[in-house]
Amino acid sequence: MQKWLVLFIISYLLINCNNSQKNTKTATSNNNYHLKQTTKPQITNKYQIANNTYDTNSQFHKLILNTTPKNTKYTFTNIVKKFDNQNIANKNIHKTTAKQIADSQSSTPDFISNLIAQLNSKENEALNFLTEVLKDNNIVKDSKTYTDKEVNDFIKYLKPQQIKKMIANIQQALQEIENTKSNIKKIYDYKKQKIELNNRLKDEINNYKIALKQAANQESFDTIKTNIQNTSINLTEITNIQNEAKRAIDVQKISLNLTDDELCTLFYLVEPLQKINYKTSNKHYTYDQFNQLILYLGIDKVKDMLKNIVKEFHKEKAVKYYIKKIIKNRNPKNNLDNYLEFIKQNYKRLLLEAFGNSTISPDVIIQNIKKISFDKFDKIKQKAIGIIKNQLYK
């Protein structure tokens, strides 16, 4: 059946070629009126078929489809297509092959959009994160920077299912990053620990980007996909940051139950404990270690620990008040100010020694603080009062 159909097509093409030549001669010899009244019939010739430009609405195409049984129409269409492709290959009419045409179509924004549309919102977010990393040339030196076309080619090559597998770890990383940011935001802005945690998180995100960039520094799409799929963020450090942020938030909740004086005293303790304590083998507290101490003690023991320290702070405030009352004698006033600062540092040193390093039991710390005997604030207050009395009677 197909052989007869091919013979019929070839015969029809030869007839049409002859008719075309005759029509040309007739058109030349006819007068202008005849030319205006005559329309050149729509035909399909072998050159149109060879160039893949034949009209599917042509008389030839309609004739065949209308005179061919339904079960052979599909066969006819395939024969014509096969004939076209064979002519293209033999005559090298088109430089662009069918595969290249398909590739160019699949690289269009619409194709990429349709492909990405098969991903859910979290997967799209992960893919966007990866795309930005691949195109960023500032992350790591001597690493490949992808163009938009290269990224699209990579996405097109993998298809949705492989993309989903590749970005699974990125999804998890982004979720952990979001959770960590959410916790850090809840820490009061005036706390230096908030800045520290944010900086640590930024470092881990940057390290993850570097790892992804290096994983994609290959030629084979399959190798790149496998490398990225096996690249994870440092979940240990991310989890540590999350937990430290949570403990800071829990300490804030405890601080709501403290008086203003107790709260000021607590803040007064934090900064010195961050510095190196030379009396305890150069060890010191981190913000998180101090928070763990407070959480371990609980609100009642914290109040008990702060009781004696608050008393000393009240004495310090009293000394400042009386020193300000000294008006006439500048030298004694300056001397007392300097001596007060010296006493404050001396008291802080005693507190640091009471806290020791971060390995000391919290209950031992409380006892150490209670044992501190400090009467120097009282002594300097009496000196200030004596100077004030002298200036009143002179």
The pLDDT value recorded for residue 389 is 84
The pLDDT value recorded for residue 141 is 86
The pLDDT value recorded for residue 241 is 97
The pLDDT value recorded for residue 352 is 83
The pLDDT value recorded for residue 236 is 96
* Nearest in space to 266 (alpha carbons), one of 240, 295, 243, 245: 295
Per the CB < 8 A criterion, the answer to whether 229 and 168 are in contact is yes
User: Reduced to 3 states, what is the DSSP secondary structure of residue 356?
Assistant: coil
Taking CB atoms within 8 Å and a gap of at least 24, the contacts of 359-367 are: 359/283, 362/293, 362/296, 362/297, 362/301, 365/293, 365/305, 366/297, 366/301, 366/304, 366/305
Q: How far apart are CA 18 and CA 294, in angstroms?
A: 103
The pLDDT value recorded for residue 6 is 52
The pLDDT value recorded for residue 99 is 38
Encode pLDDT of 193-203 as tens digits.
999 999 999 99
The pLDDT value recorded for residue 90 is 42
Encode pLDDT of 163-180 as tens digits.
999 999 999 999 999 999
User: Reduced to 3 states, what is the DSSP secondary structure of residue 375?
Assistant: coil
Q: How far apart are CA 210 and CA 216, in angstroms?
A: 10
Residue position matching structure tokens 């076209």: 84
Q: How far apart are CA 284 and CA 281, in angstroms?
A: 9
Q: Which residues does the chain have with pLDDT short of 50?
A: 20-56, 58, 60-61, 63-65, 67-107, 276-282
* Nearest in space to 134 (alpha carbons), one of 155, 156, 103: 155
What ranges do the domains of the chain cover? 2-96, 109-245, 258-393
